[in-house]
Amino acid sequence: MEPLLLAGCFFFVLIAVLGGGYWFLKEPPPLEPEPKPSLNVYTDQEDGPIRQTLEKIGSILPPSKDLDHPVRRRLMTAGYREPDALQAFFGIKAVFGLVSALGLMVVNLQLDASFSVAMLCAVCGAGIGYLLPERLLTMLENRRRQKLRQGLPAALDLLVLGLEAGQSLDSAMLEASRELQLVYPDLSEEFTLAHLESRAGQSRADVLLRLAQRTGEPEFRKLTNLLLDGDRFGTSLGPALRNHAEYTRLRRKQQAQEAARKTSVKLVFPVFFLIFPCVLLVTLGPAVLRLMQGIGQMLRGQP
């Protein structure tokens, strides 16, 4: 029972570290339904003791002020924009690697394994624990991109309404962010941040390029190119945005149809290995039993 208890303790500590890192790293949702724009791009939060420890551990690994770090870009795509998010992420990776190494080493020593085998398992556990947050970050990136992709057609419709009503592009983006805050908070946050950067004195081209870079979504790159071309050539943005909204809806419909067609192919293995044996057992089981019973009686010479 001791190895099972140690394994259970190890997984409990692993889940606790993961939950604590996610809790202290994730931005809290806005309290007010309509945020008031301010010039502060990052929200100041009071760091907890766990997050402070992770930041101190992670500050040893990456540069503390490297804004172009590829991991920082991935964190921004996942929605973590705090200045110390990079250090906290590397601290989580270091803690995961250490906990995994110690856990596997203790388990192997309890199972009466040799010290060399325990050290080898500890090294493997350290590598797995260090790479696991990368996989979790990729999942968070994909989930946030999916949310941004789902809210883009509605945001384009709101931008068209604002532009056709006589508003500027910045004002239309701000109104769209306010309307989308409850339904698509991630997209509302991106539009609000773009508006704040524009108010801070940055050019529209830089703001739009940073918007496409932060999201990492191809649809936002297309939208950025559309807005930049309209701003460069002086064309009307309303019809262009309306056509782009229809294009995004058509693309989502085609993607849904493609996923529906792939469903039958993906169901081949579950049907063949799980459902088909059960059907054979129910349908052919009684007949096989009767046949075996008849053959047994014939071999014993019974009438």
User: What pLDDT, in 10s, does the model give residues 33-66?
Assistant: 444 444 334 444 455 666 666 566 555 555 545 5
CA neighbor of 196 nearest in space, from 230, 214, 173: 173
pLDDT for position 29: 45
Lookup: tokens for 184: 């698509």
- Please indicate, yes or no, if residue 302 is contained in any of the structural domains: no
Encoding tokens for residue 135? 């996989």
206 in a structural domain: yes
Instruction: Tell me if 291 is assigned to some domain.
Output: no
Q: Whole-model pTM?
A: 0.66
Q: Is residue 253 part of a domain?
A: yes
* Residue 195 belongs to some domain of the structure: yes
| 123 and 213 inside one domain | no
Report residue 143 as tokens.
Answer: 């989930």
Contact (Cβ atoms closer than 8 angstroms) between residue 117 and residue 20: no
Same domain (yes/no): 124, 10: yes
Same domain, 130 and 226: no
Can you read off the two tokens belonging to residue 12? 């409990």
CATH of the domain at 187: 1.20.81
Give 291: exposed, middle or buried? Use CB within 10 Å, 0-12, 13-18, 19+.
Answer: exposed
The answer to whether the beta carbons of residues 187 and 147 sit under 8 Å apart is yes
The tens place of each residue's pLDDT in the chain, 303 residues long, gives: 455 555 555 565 556 655 655 555 554 444 444 444 443 344 444 556 666 665 665 555 555 455 567 888 888 888 888 877 888 888 888 888 888 888 888 888 888 777 788 888 888 888 888 888 889 999 999 999 888 888 888 888 888 888 888 888 888 888 888 888 888 888 888 888 888 888 888 888 888 888 888 888 888 888 888 888 887 777 778 888 888 888 888 888 888 899 888 888 888 888 888 888 888 888 888 888 888 888 888 877 655
| Single-letter amino acid, residue 150 | Q
The sign of the dihedral angle between the CA atoms of 202, 203, 204, 206 is negative
Q: Provide the 10 A C-beta neighbour count for residue 260.
A: 9
Q: Which residues are CB-contacts of 13 (< 8 A; sequence separation ≥ 6)? A: 99, 103
Same domain as 221, residue 92: no
Cα gap 244→220, rounded to integer Å: 11
Task: Name, in order, each residue with C-beta under 8 angstroms of 93's C-beta and a sequence gap of 6 or more.
Answer: 58, 129, 130, 133, 134
Q: CB burial class (10 A; 0-12, 13-18, 19+) of residue 245?
A: buried
Based on the fold, state whether residues 161 and 112 are members of the same structural domain. Answer: no
Residue type (1 letter), 72: R
The reported pLDDT for the residue numbered 263 is: 87
User: DSSP letters along 90-154, please?
Assistant: HHHHHHHHHHHHHHHHHHHHHTT--HHHHHHHHHHHHHHHHHHHHHHHHHHHHHHHHHHHHHHHH
Task: Report the C-alpha gap between 223 and 28 in whole angstroms.
Answer: 28
For residue 298, what is the DSSP state?
Answer: H
Give me the pLDDT at residue 36, please. 43
Residue 290 φ then ψ, to 5°: -65, -40
* Tally of CB atoms within 10 A around 71: 17
Domain that holds residue 167: 147-263
pLDDT at 17: 56
Instruction: Say if residue 130 is in the same domain as residue 7.
Output: yes
End-of-domain residue from the set 122, 143, 164: 143
> CA-based diameter of the chain, in Å?
101
